[in-house]
Amino acid sequence: MGDKTKAHEFHLPLAKITQSALNCPVRYLTFHNDHARLGLEYSGATPFSDTFHCDLNLPSSKPLMVQSPWCLTLLSPAASLDQLQRLIHFCAEQNWCIDTIDTLSYRRECTVIRFQFSAELEFSPARFACLQLAEEIGVDLVLQEGPSQRVPALAGFDMDSTLIDAEVIDELAKITGIGEQVVAITEAAMRGELDFRDSFKKRMALLKGFSEQRLAEIAQQLPLKEGAQELLHCLRELGCKTVILSGGFTYFANFLQRERLAVDWVHANQLEFAEGALTGEVIEPIVDGIRKRLLLAETAKEMGLSLQQVVAIGDGANDIPMLNLGALGIAIHPKPKVRLEAPQSITRFGLDAALYLFGLNDQQIAKLGQP
């Protein structure tokens, strides 16, 4: 049998973390006042010789204050020493001066480590470099301005493939037997290859005659995106207002608000019926990407908020305008084009992982309770 697994906290300079040739699971990392504490699980040889170590001492329930101009958050489904080493090397190569590090989640299935750093950087190329490294080491890396690490006052959400794990218009088409045709139009629009307004009108025309009774049945069956209920519940508990801004339909968004999700307001497209069935026509104005951004900005203005108190979350090309509006624009499980253009993105976790980008840790999230 193999060596017995050991778990220890190592006290060492941050630079020394990159010097071990061994790889092993990471439980946590903190760095403050030039002193690093690294929690590891390992078997066999000690990863760091001539270094003080003790039993694991999990981080405190209160995160460090954000005082640096930038934050880089690592979210890993299986955090490893190799991932940390690559990230520390990366920061050094970029001339990013690491000020502090703390761990927001030390669950084995989701370890979240936040780096605060000082640097003069151009956001877009820096974000792209982070995306490349994230792909190489199998994590999410989220770059954001330090002041944006706070709970927003207003959060705008796309609905289809963001709050729910489906594109409603595609589900309607599958039932009517024209699924492949409509799905192809939807995917092209979400990738940004087709104008959303034109694609929306084409898809609606194909759905002429769909019964209102079947719509009610479908609404009951819509699968929620992982973490959607948890995120919206926590935002409500924290006093943040939320709004659905959807190129989908008010019929389904209102159902979600009424029955399943803690949402304050809804803006989406209205369906036109005649004799209990869809007419295939659209009711203007269509909620496309530009209108989503406009509605989110108008909502913030009505609330007396600055855009630095606003965040947006979506997944498709028609979400890009609103994702670039406020303090954060988080693409959740995004299409490739959106991942390249959105300011922030989460690809390996559910919606509730956004809470870490608002500066919360697991202990604080747990105190907010379950939905």
| Number of other residues whose CB lies within 10 A of the CB of residue 97 | 13
Active-site residue (options: 99, 102, 140, 158) = 158
CA distance 215 to 139: 39
Name the E strands within the chain: 6-12, 26-32, 35-42, 53-54, 70-76, 97-107, 110-118, 140-145, 154-157, 241-249, 265-269, 271-274, 277-282, 310-314, 328-332, 344-346
CA atoms within 13 A on the CB side of 295: 25
CA distance 59 to 54: 14
Catalytic residue list contains 362: no
CA distances from 131 to 22, 165, 321 (A): 25, 24, 20
Tokens of 263: 């949402």
Q: Which helix (H) or strand (E) holds 53?
A: strand 53-54
Active-site residue (options: 140, 160, 288, 319) = 160
Catalytic residue list contains 140: no
Nearest to 234 by CA among 87, 92, 58, 367: 367
Nearest to 144 by CA among 231, 87, 66, 81: 66
CA distance 248 to 244: 10
Active site amino acids: 158, 160
